[in-house]
Amino acid sequence: MKASSFRRVLNLWPPFLFSGIRVQSISDDYGEAKVVLRLRPWNRNYVRSQFGGSLFAMVDPFWMLLVMHQLGNDYYVWDKAGAIDFVAPGREDVYAHFKLESSVVDELRAAAASGEKVLRWFETDVVTANGEVIARVRKQIYVRLKPKAR
């Protein structure tokens, strides 16, 4: 699927659509994505800042999706683990930028070539428009070469 079409599908996906999450861009090669979480009355917590679940949801699938599209159909790619560190209250729109370097994709291919599972951590900061860090998110991705490709 073309990245521009995939971006539109993600923006209509109910968990994103109803929580104020918008995928701003996905590069044609699936090497980069930009996401925004708009602060709305329905995604504020009790103290009127961004709801933590929405902050995690805005970054949750992107490392897996980028790795999956970069590696292709010969690999299993799954989310294995995740962690979030809330640094400051998000009292405005917040942004996340994902950039998957081709050297990392090459490392994953080489590490998975034997058919063994590969686990790799990826990190993303959630920031305001001014660059203030609101949250730091870590996602662990599982990669394994499918049996038919070994």
| Residue 124 belongs to domain spanning | 3-149
- Tell me which H or E stretch contains 56: helix 52-59
Question: What span, in angstroms and rounded, lies between the C-alpha atoms of 113 and 150?
Answer: 7
Question: What span, in angstroms and rounded, lies between the C-alpha atoms of 128 and 122?
Answer: 20
pLDDT score at 42: 87
User: Using 50, 70 and 90 to split pLDDT, how confident is the model at 1?
Assistant: confident
Q: What would the pLDDT profile of 89-142 be if each residue is shown by its tens digit? A: 999 999 999 999 999 999 999 999 999 999 999 999 999 999 999 999 999 999
Contact between 142 and 77 (Cβ < 8 Å) = yes
pTM: 0.93
Give the pair of three-digit tokens for residue 128: 């305001």
pLDDT score at 150: 84
CA distances from 51 to 21, 85, 86, 129 (A): 12, 13, 11, 18
Number of domains into which the chain is organized: 1
Which CATH number is 9's domain given? 3.10.129.10
